[in-house]
Structure 1
Amino acid sequence: MARSTEPIEKKVKASSAVTYLASLAGLAVLGGVTDDPSLISSMPDALEPFILALVPAAAAAIAGWAAPHTPRTGT
C-alpha cells in the first residue's frame, strides 16, 4: 500500500467516530447483561469498554483511508 500525504477525509473521520460510539454502546450493553463484568482482566473494569471500542473504530478508519476514492468532476 502506497503512503499518501493527503489529509484524511471528513467522511472517514465521521464514520470512525460513529463506529467508536456504536461499539461503546454495544460493549456497555454487553457488560450490563453478562454475569462477568470483566472483559479483559488486566484492565480496570471502568476502562474496558472505552479501550475495546477503539479496535473497530481503528479498523473503520484504516479501511476508509485505504479505500480507493472516485474523483469527482464538475462541481
Structure 2
Amino acid sequence: MASPSAPIEKKVTASSALAYLASLAGLAILGAVTDNPSLVSGMPDALEPFVLALVPAAASWIAGWAAPHTPRSDV
C-alpha cells in the first residue's frame, strides 16, 4: 500500500489533463448542436462546460492514483 505522501506519477496527471480537454471539447460540441445549451441551469452558461469537464478528469485521476503502479527498485 502506498504511503499517504506518495507522489502522483506524471502519467496520471497527463491522463487527467487529456480527459479534461477531451470532455471539454465534447461538451462544447454538444452545446453547439443542441437547441438548449444549458446543461446545468444553476451555473452561468459560459462556466458549465468547464465545471462539467472536471467530472471525468477527476474520475481518471482517482482511478490512476488507486491503480497499482509499476514497482521501482531503490537506486
* CA–CA separation in structure 1 for the residues paired with 2:56 and 2:26: 12
Deviation at 1:10, TM superposition (A): 0.2
Counterpart residue type for residue 36 of structure 1: N
Deviation at 1:4, TM superposition (A): 2.8
The 3-state SS of whatever aligns with 1:22 is helix
Moved more, 31-40 or 64-73: 64-73
Counterpart residue type for residue 22 of structure 2: A
The 3-state SS of whatever aligns with 2:29 is helix
Residue aligning to 1:23:
23
Counterpart residue type for residue 39 of structure 2: L
Aligned-residue Cα RMSD (Å) equals 1.9
The 3-state SS of whatever aligns with 1:36 is coil
Deviation at 1:45, TM superposition (A): 0.3
Uncovered stretches (5+) of structure 2, i.e. residues with no partner: none
Query: TM-score, normalised to structure 2's length?
Result: 0.90
* CA–CA separation in structure 1 for the residues paired with 2:69 and 2:51: 30
Uncovered stretches (5+) of structure 1, i.e. residues with no partner: none
